[in-house]
Structure 1
């Protein structure tokens, strides 16, 4: 059985004072029935890890460089993330693809570095509104998967997050049938490429305006093993509602 995962992406939000939310969340879920992961800004990873040391919340990064070290001013390697206390890293998020021009091959290279560095790679895929309206969603997702996911992927080092770009932070959510169609497609593609064992063991997350109010119905959809949550993960009370819905799914 795949263990469900509630992952929070703080994006470029938060400072030391906000770690109190993390501590509150840890107290709310002292013995969670699902995995909980928070990905704060890189400046907070070490302090976040110290807040939950030996606890029930895992800490992750939001990006890493494809190289282990070198002349890459401002970048952070997978090994540095792991050294700071991270166990996972988000890669290929649409905001990275748009803001920094990341292509599938860039995401693949970073994913290889993450996996080699002992991190779980949370690889994001998703279509724009124009692509959705042109009925190209599955072609886009399939291409992103083929180009972004490395051959060494397993159920232990890979998590795939479906995040329709048009639903991120907009309050818009695909229909449950649309979410199910994409998640079933991702599962089938993974099984075809890596075999049934690996394909069925990779956790699939949905992301895009997930809230306590809609989480339960999303988690009831086929092949949705959890969520990658943005804004709603910044406050313990909001994220706790999502975690509870996942535990009850």
Structure 2
């Protein structure tokens, strides 16, 4: 029950943001909001939403949703230059010194939020996140070119991916891990295509699914819908004329 509640809360948190940016293209396989998956009916790629899976507990599901929201806002929410997406972190970083400090401050806030998960980040994951923040700060010191490279590496999105991998490691059921070629209880990681076609801590949802859910809420069930005869006024029967033969 708690996991279901967590998924609903996380979906509600991200819903407005996904609708706001639904017109934007998918920014690679680490895009916090959207992904391209193959349509089994047509064989073509289709754009879908990335939702939090049921196996992640409520508290950590909400943390993941918040990190995704911040990562998208800081790294991808604004504009595109030469194929590189800019967010608020990259744009503010264009301001010398002050912007670079604000950029690093945003990255540290995302890192602190990641550390609030109940499963706890292991030391290896923490070191990797800290290295991304350090690289983000050093590269941003180089005027113009450094800011462009900063936007390309997307420190917050990289740390989001590390959080997703940690959540999968701690919460994903073992049978699902085996199906995806992941490491289970000391077993060797199989790798291969099955692991690459799934993104961590993610289930996919079609845009049409959301429309159907919204219509199901907006439209009452058949037994509560007014009948045609109820919605139209019944005509009064004409009075019979005694002088006319029928």
TM > 0.5: no
TM-score, normalisation: structure 1: 0.24
When normalised by structure 2's length, the TM-score is: 0.24
Structure with the higher fraction of residues in strand conformation: 1
